[in-house]
């Protein structure tokens, strides 16, 4: 339990309460901790490139409508 932070600057990104099991080898989250936790830009349809909202460190993607419940995203 706790808060996941950016490995580069320590900015708070995700809460363990938003973490869930997924078939990918990386941790999966349904939402960010705060609105300014990450920055997003469209990379391709259905996938947004996600970076730290403070320092711009690459964090992976947000996959739209791929969360554990209908309509949820997966980070």
Distance CA 52, CA 13 (A): 8
Are 56 and 39 contacting, i.e. CB atoms less than 8 angstroms apart? yes
What are the residue boundaries of the structural domains of the chain, listed by start?
A: 3-63
The model's pTM is 0.88
Q: With respect to CATH, is domain 3-63 assigned 2.170.150.20?
A: yes
Distance CA 16, CA 49 (A): 21
Q: What is the pLDDT of residue 51?
A: 98
In order, the DSSP letters of 5-64 are E-TTT--EEEEGGGEE--SSSS-EESS-SSTTSEEEEEEETTEEEEEETTT--EEEEEET
Query: What does the pLDDT look like over 3-53, one tens digit per residue?
Result: 999 999 999 999 999 999 888 888 899 999 999 999 999 999 999 999 999
Q: What is the pLDDT of residue 62?
A: 95
Residue 55 has pLDDT above 90, yes or no: yes
């Amino acid at each position: 339990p706790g808060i996941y932070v950016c490995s580069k600057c320590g900015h708070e990104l995700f809460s363990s309460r938003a973490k869930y099991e997924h078939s990918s080898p990386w941790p999966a989250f349904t939402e960010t901790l705060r609105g300014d936790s990450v920055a997003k830009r469209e990379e391709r349809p259905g996938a947004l490139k996600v970076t730290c909202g403070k320092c711009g460190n690459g964090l992976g993607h947000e996959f739209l409508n791929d969360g554990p419940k209908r309509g949820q995203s997966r980070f």
